[in-house]
Structures are given as structure tokens and as C-alpha cells.
Amino acid sequence: MKDARLGEFEEIILLLVGILEDKAYTLRIAEEFETQTGKSVSIGATHSTLDRLCKKGLLKSELSEPTAVRGGRRKRIFSISASGERALLASRDLRTSLWDQYPAFSKLSLNI
């Protein structure tokens, strides 16, 4: 499997899935995106990204059992696959490495 690129929005969505755990379904993820970033996003944008992430093998999904809440279709719950976690780690490593080398940032990072 080739090392597919991981876009900016894709990465954030991936992280959001990891954070939401068993609550990670499309609608909730879109909501969480808005609260965490302060920017709005459509369901469609969220869905197609989630979908691509699955096709790349970075995410897996399964349908949940119906809940006790009023109505509603069954949720599709997403979770991070092993290779998704690897991609996230690789991205973090690259970024922290670059930040450390950027003078304007490395100064601020000395507060340990």
C-alpha cells in the first residue's frame, strides 16, 4: 500500500475521530470540528473526507446498534486503524522537528 498523502483537513478529522472515540460519527465529528477550530464545516465535506480516509485504510468503520433516542438512522462509528495511527505519528514527528528548527518558534519552546 503506497504512502498516501495526508491533507490538512484530513489530519484534523483523523485526530477528531481519535478524540471522540465511540462517539465518532459524521454528524458529531462535524460539530466537534466547529467547536475545536471555530470554523464551520458542512456535513458533506466531513463525510467525503471520512470516506477517503477509509479508502486509504487510515480509518475503519462499523454501524452501531440503534440507540434509545427518539428517531434516527443507525450511526456509522469510525475509528483509527493501525496505519492511521502511524500516519498521525509520522506527521507529528515531522512537525515537531521542523518547529524546533524554526528560530521564531524554538525560542518559545524552551519553557519546560
Partner DNA sequence: CATATTATTTCTACATTGTAGAACAAATCT
Partner DNA sequence: AGATTTGTTCTACAATGTAGAAATAATATG
Contacting residues toward a second copy, per CB under 8 A: 5-8, 11-12, 15-16, 18-19, 21, 36-37, 80, 85, 88, 92, 94-95, 97-99, 101-105, 112
Facing residues of 61 across strands? 78
**How far is 48 from 18, CA to CA, in rounded Å?**
18
Closer Cβ to DNA, 94 or 109, answer by number: 94
* 73, 103, 107, 112: which one binds DNA (CB under 7 A): 73
Helices 43-55 and 8-20: crossing angle in degrees, nearest 10, is: 90
Say which entry of DNA, a second copy, none residue 88 contacts (CB below 5 to 8 A, set by partner kind).
a second copy
Q: H helices within 21-74, ranges in order?
A: 26-37, 43-55
**How far is 107 from 102, CA to CA, in rounded Å?**
9
Which parts of this chain interact with DNA (CB under 7 A)? 4-5, 7-10, 25-28, 40-45, 47-49, 52, 56, 66-76
